[in-house]
Chains A and B, each alone.
Chain A
Amino acid sequence: MIAGGTVVDALGSRRADVRVENGRVVDVAPDLPTTGDEASLDASGCVVSPGFVDLHVHLREPGDEEAETIETGTRAAARGGFTAVVAMPNTRPALDDAAVVSSVLALGKEAGLCDVVSSGCITVGRAGEQLAPMGELYALGVRVFTDDGFCVASAGVMRRALEYAASLPGAIVAQHAEDETLAAGGHMHEGAWSSRLGIPGRPSVAETVIVARDIELCEVTGTPVHFLHCSAAGTVALVRAAKARGLPVTAECAPHHFSLTDECCEGFDPMFKVHPPLRTQADVDAIREGLADGTIDAIATDHAPHTPESKERPFEEAPPGMLGLETALGVTLTELVEPGHLSLADALGLLSWRPARIAGLESHGGPILAGAQANLTIFDPGHEWIVEPERLASRARNTPFVGRTLRGKVTHTVLFGNVVVQDGEATR
């Protein structure tokens, strides 16, 4: 029994208690009477939401377990309020093979902290040449195909992938949109700050040329295209126009792209190095507008753990990427909801039910009604906390939000009826 909270889901907001039995919601109503021996969570002052869904998480296993494992990554996810995460394919070996995908799914189940949904590669070894066995991966439940970390550079290969995916209902092809001929050798956004700091840049146009191209390929093939971690104002405009044309295009953006700018790189701290890079305030503003008007469909963290030693290097030598799972809600509420860019319900839509639909996850993100799977997130929207890297559940520590005060913290996460986070801490 979850008592005293405010339920917010795709149907709206209402004061209600939620009774969960055997992994499902059985009753939702104000002031439900408690039965004698049932466990009760006090959710007064808290929001009860469908569990969050992250379309973009690097769990690093197999291959880079010193940075993150499926267990530590899903523990971080659960603490962040996520009941499902889509694991990105740039593991070693890559997720281009049924055996590797099966092992990721099994390790996710074993950890039992969060529903691990595997992505699958578009091309073998993410090399951008030969199609991965998309049908075999689809049979294991893969719906999101991506070579993330790498862009599918060849327009011809991208077209064939989209054509082939049309035979797999519900499958989407997700593009890491960065033209390497424009971005190669770059380490931060190309602009005033890169020019001043002498750090080679990755220009916005590297993203927009691929987005523009793939929108055309989407129209030709009819297969849904999803754009990962959109960072540039131009991308928001392109996606908005594509949607106006009625094309099946979706887009996500990461919390760091609506809260931080390239100015953060001033001190040469590699914690702020990420691909695509932190861009300008104008880009941040455009992304916020895109989130507010529905152009951008999801907030996805691009959670990218790296070992401390790999970030203790000069900026240009450190790997790109930053943590995101445990700060996503706080950054969203602090940067978008509190200043009035988004309503709370719209923000939760971006964190939960809209990404759930993109990934085809029927057990997550649905309205909190009797009969629904009990994948729920309970958070205190007023709770202020300071981001302390050493207190994160992730094995890595590379958060760009270190020392920041955020408002909004997950108190409980319920996964198929099991309380996996209680009072902010993982139960397993």
Chain B
Amino acid sequence: MKHLLSVDDLDVESLTAMLDLSEQFVAVNQRDIPKVPALRGKVVASLFYEDSTRTRLSFETAAKRLSCDVMNFSVSQSSVKKGESLLDTVQTIEAMGIDAIVIRHPSAGAPHRITEWVDASVINAGDGRHAHPTQALLDVLTLRRHREMNGLRVAIVGDVRHSRVARSNVKALHLLGADVTLVAPPTLLPESLDGWPVHVSHDLDDVISEVDVVMLLRMQFERQQEALFPTVREYTARYGLTEARADRLKPDALIMHPGPMNRGVELAASVADGPASLVTEQVSNGVAVRMAVLYTLLGSGASVV
């Protein structure tokens, strides 16, 4: 495996292997000195064309804990501002000698294009609405640490249409045998769900007491201007995980959110901070998953620990 562009690059065996490897890095991360020399001498460039806090820091931390050198490329302080094309930018970076490019880009498929232009491994850290494979990996890793995945009932709630997180999670959850229901108004669902292994509901109240996991997606407020929903207040009333709805969850149900959260919109603050919430665990597992991805793409294949 040379690149990680989408969950489509994985089958159930390689996904499971990646999660098993991630578990080893979870253990490494719990040590006093959470660092291994596995990728010493390797250079990872991170290239973020969109703002990001957690994904960027998570990749950087993962690379450093594997003893990689990290080149951080900030679009706002670069020649991109002078009009340099993506092609020229990645070729310039590659000419400095790198082994992997971690890229986030607002256009779907931008990481795929880059694989045609450079020899380095390319890791998709989010491209447009298309894919965010490491987010899906960390989400299923987090879930797998709590529940048997096969037959697990997961509701993904919110703006699925514009969500790369949802697209990647549907695939990863399906690979592991989970049963996925998308919950959103029709305007926030993809135009076509042809071929998607999901159920669909427009009514969160219908499914709330049936599911084992509620995965909430971030509401992007600018969608209101596009007439995709009437008001934030109405959105919260119909699709928010309010305290009242949380009370109807199964007693052992789990709550996830990829972040950044709009507290009080997608979910009530008390629910986000409650015992059922896996939100902070998702973040810490993100580092382990990204270590596993980097190690799989760049490592020698030797044992990690």
Contacts and interface: CB of A to CB of B under 8 A. Distances in A.
Contact of B129 (A200, A268, A317): A200
B130 A312 contact: no
Given A312-B87, A314-B107, A315-B107, A195 B191 contact: yes
A312 B88 CA distance: 10
A192 B195 contact: yes
A191 B117 CA distance: 29
A192 B194 contact: yes
Interface residues of A, number: 21
A420 B105 CA distance: 47
A190 B191 contact: yes
Contact of B191 (A203, A309, A314, A315): A203
Interface in A257-283: 267-268
A405 to B, nearest CB: 23
A198 B129 contact: yes
Given A312-B85, A313-B85, A313-B113, A196 B191 contact: no
B191 A199 contact: no
Contacts of A203: 191
A316 B87 contact: no
B248 to A, nearest CB: 31
Contacts, number: 73
A192 B193 CA distance: 7
A198 B165 CA distance: 11
Interface in B248-305: none
Contacts of B143: none
Contact of A309 (B85, B113, B194, B195): B85
A394 interface: no
Interface in B163-217: 164, 167, 190-196
Interface in B86-118: 86-87, 105-110, 112-113, 117
A201 interface: yes
B282 to A, nearest CB: 22
A201 B194 CA distance: 15
A199 B128 CA distance: 8
B185 to A, nearest CB: 16
B130 A192 contact: no
B192 A191 contact: yes
A201 B161 CA distance: 11
A37 to B, nearest CB: 56
Contacts of A316: 106-109, 128
B108 A192 contact: no
A194 B192 CA distance: 8
B85 A195 contact: no
Which of B109, B112, B128, B190 counts the most A-chain CB atoms under 10 A from its CB? B109
Nearest to A191: B192
Interface in B121-146: 127-131
B174 to A, nearest CB: 13
B223 to A, nearest CB: 12
Contacts of A267: 109, 112
Contact of B190 (A195, A309, A312, A313): A195
B16 to A, nearest CB: 24
A199 B129 contact: yes
Contacts of A199: 108-109, 128-130
Contacts of A268: 108-110, 112-113
Contacts of A315: 107-109, 113
Given A309-B85, A314-B86, A201 B108 contact: no
B133 to A, nearest CB: 13
B193 A198 contact: no
Contacts of B196: 195-196
5 contacts: A195-B193, A199-B109, A309-B87, A313-B113, A316-B108
Q: What are the 9 tightest A-B residue pairs by CB atom distance, in nearest-first order?
A: A268-B109, A198-B129, A198-B130, A314-B107, A195-B190, A192-B194, A316-B107, A314-B110, A192-B192
